[in-house]
Amino acid sequence: MRYSINSNTSQISLAQGYDINASYKDLTAVCDAVRYLKTDRALQVLDDIIELKMPILFHKYNKYMGARHELGGRKGAYPIKAAKETKTVLMNAIANSKNKGLSEDALYIVHASANKTHIERRRPSKGSLSWGRGKYGMSAGTHSDMEYAKIEIGLAEGSEPTLTRNMKYFIKTRNPVKEIKSKAPQKQKEKAKEAAKQEAKAKK
């Protein structure tokens, strides 16, 4: 199947899963949660969802969904099945990155999307309680649809020149570099204070 990404994919490792029996709405929320994250951090997010440690934010498709205090009172949930399917596709994309000579330690998720592929209409089997309860003694219209979806994930190095301007911006935004403050100035101040105390004692 073709991919929906419009960027140059020469240095992007792609993987997809299709005909997945999972809610495309949950898959969309999971893709939003891991998009533009570094691969190791994205795997940690997916593991936290699967182990019910941390819910993810649902920007849409959140009607009748409860608020989560972990998300600051915003609506979220634990889409375990969607997280497992997304993790499988992500691991495939990481494996495919070796064929393009990409460094696994510098990979970011630059493309993540989920879409509905098709719907299979299902009705209750003959003889079930749902039959014979419809209008004028006819069979009821009760049915349960089975939805299938697909996931696409693309990985690339953050310094890749083929990435778009928006990709580079969101990679920096979602993966802030922690500045390590040097302790040398603090030590120098402490030494100066100690020297001043010793001078004061010597004068006495």
Q: Which two tokens stand for residue 19?
A: 């005909």
Identify whether the C-beta of residue 156 lies closer than 8 Å to the C-beta of residue 11: yes
pLDDT at site 123: 66
Residue position matching structure tokens 């301007």: 165
Full domain range(s) for residue 94: 13-203
**Is residue 137 left, alpha or beta, with left meaning phi > 0 and alpha meaning psi from -120 to 50?**
left
Q: Is the pLDDT of residue 184 over 60?
A: no
Task: Kindly state whether residue 5 falls inside one of the protein's structural domains.
Answer: no
Question: For the chain, what percent of residues have pLDDT higher than 90?
Answer: 47
Residue 58 domain-assigned? Answer: yes
Domain CATH number, residue 132: 3.90.470.10
pLDDT of residue 105: 87
Nearest to 109 by CA among 3, 164, 36, 173: 36
Which alpha helices (H) appear in the chain, and where do they start and end? 24-34, 39-50, 80-97, 165-174, 184-203
- CA proximity to 76, closest of 43, 42, 53: 53
* 56-99 per-position pLDDT tens digit: 999 988 988 989 999 999 999 999 999 999 999 999 999 999 88
Say if 6 falls within a structural domain.
no
pLDDT of residue 79: 94
Find the helix or strand (DSSP H, E) in which 173 lies: helix 165-174
Task: Give the global pTM.
Answer: 0.75
pLDDT tens column, 14-44: 999 988 988 889 999 999 999 999 999 999 9
* Structural domain count of the chain: 1
Average pLDDT of the residues in 118-125: 73
**In a domain? residue 33:** yes
